Chain A
């Protein structure tokens, strides 16, 4: 087998796994957009906040430590205990649910029946607010996140491919874990949306707020539910990206990578987010591999957006987005 082809296979595989990571972020957007028609600009910052909180809890940091020390002249930074990873993750999930309740209570509840653009503006405000809170609570240094996920090269894939092609593929264990977690998460979310009463209510709210109100669905409750789910998806994305590249401000920018994924997969489709993520992941990896060297490389930075643009022209609802049903 020619070397080029073997490389291409490795690149594709890595691209697929990378795509899963994009899809994880995109999922959070889809959830909120489906249920409330809000494009949640804060999704990336929520991932950052979740990862920061997780690290903080795990290491036993004092929240608002800087602030407390500044005001009272004390010098405390740590509680002096360490929380096991699983417990820390559960606590962080609770924090995200708390955030969902507060956001609903103080922001979105007052905006029922407003234009989508106004809700979008509100999420921009929310994003900057959360960014500030995140800094204030846990500081802005780069942190290492380690919840015990397997890291480094996967030896068995390396061995198998070496025997087959005489060349071992470098596939990161973390990427494989992310793919498995994402699959489970998506299956769970789809099952929830399709087969439970609350899931049905969620989809009903997405279709028509007024009608949902009229049959007695509590909008506030459903929205808190949706924001909580989005918060938990943000937490998972935060864990994966945080383990991969450290917890730092740039984590909130992965949201930008989710945009082309959404345009490809459709804003309203959970499977679409996954497939879109995979296409972008593989597409940009292969493009960089095949065309990149000819035009000076660094095509990853723009390839996804160009692909999204093409989609906007020819299929604005994305691959799997709900068709815009219009009857006269």
Chain B
């Protein structure tokens, strides 16, 4: 169960599309910030085409760093991938700029939304089409497509994004990514700071986009419960390492996951002391 996804992967990422091609593959990467701070200590994962893959774990586990390593936004935060390999459709993508990656169909929706505050909602969406060269007509058609998924955005199209609500901003950020006609969206913490109802709504749309538009998702999420309900496959990160991975349905039933990430326990409430000793044991094993 631990650390080596290659060995456990054989069960098949998604039962219904067992032979799905692997789009994105991260092999044993190590990331260092500012030349000294080691954040990822050998993370490996595979994202199959057409799937929703979840990257789970607590604060500081390395979820965001993994996504940024893939989308190459690390550089502007003084981080770098020092070991390992990241490939997309078999091509190494570490040296590509974020712009070139967007061109190849990989786009990241950053944690905390990051809308352009002083641009209107519609202008925000249009910036997503920056790298496209297929003409105004196609872009306008996609804008309508985004509005059908997010009717709320159509109502707020002329408002400055900075003045819209958290949920609307998250929708704007996802819609903006959609405007680039992506094959894969790296979605970082979509539930952050949103009411449970809204979280549900956002994940519903993610699922619809996945099924209807065929968008592949790699999703970093702290909300393990929601993420495992919508994802097909999950990886659990802890202190910069993958400690567990498997099909989402299996992870949901796993006693450790239940206890540590879903807050459920078979033997009733446990004392905090047991939890801590368990954690120590697990670190040694992994």
Contact = CB atoms under 8 A, between A and B. Distances in A.
Interface string A223-265: 0000000000000000000000000000000000000000000
Contact of A216 (B76, B123, B131, B163): B131
Nearest to A203: B119
Given A204-B119, A211-B114, A216-B131, A112 B76 contact: yes
Interface string A284-326: 0000000000000000000000000000000000000010010
A214 B71 contact: yes
A325 B162 contact: yes
B208 interface: no
Nearest to B76: A113
Contact of B99 (A112, A200, A211, A217): A217
B97 A325 contact: no
B77 interface: yes
Contacts of A204: 116, 119, 123-124, 127
Interface of B: 71, 73, 75-78, 97-99, 101-103, 107-110, 114-119, 123-124, 126-128, 130-131, 160, 162-163, 166, 176-177, 180
A195 B127 CA distance: 12
Interface string A205-226: 0111111111111100000000
Interface in A262-282: none
Contacts of B103: 216
Contacts, number: 86
A327 B113 CA distance: 13
A271 to B, nearest CB: 15
B116 A216 contact: no
A201 B123 CA distance: 10
Contact of A213 (B76, B118, B166): B76
A215 B76 contact: no
A210 B99 contact: no
Interface in A108-126: 112-113
A218 B177 CA distance: 16
21 contacts: A113-B77, A200-B119, A200-B123, A201-B127, A201-B130, A204-B116, A204-B123, A204-B127, A206-B118, A210-B76, A210-B110, A211-B110, A211-B116, A212-B127, A213-B99, A214-B109, A215-B107, A215-B128, A216-B130, A325-B118, A327-B162
Contacts of A200: 119, 123, 126-127
A325 B160 contact: yes
B180 A216 contact: yes
A306 to B, nearest CB: 30
Contact of B73 (A213, A218, A327): A213
B102 A215 contact: yes
A213 to B, nearest CB: 5
A197 B130 contact: yes
Most buried by A among B97, B109, B114, B116: B116
A162 B101 CA distance: 68
Contacts of B99: 213, 216-218
A215 B117 CA distance: 15
Contacts of B75: 112
3 cross-chain pairs, A with B, having the tightest CB-CB distances, nearest first: A216-B102, A325-B162, A211-B114
A209 B77 CA distance: 11
A217 B103 CA distance: 11
A217 B115 CA distance: 14
Nearest to B169: A327
Given A113-B78, A215-B102, A218-B99, A203 B116 contact: yes
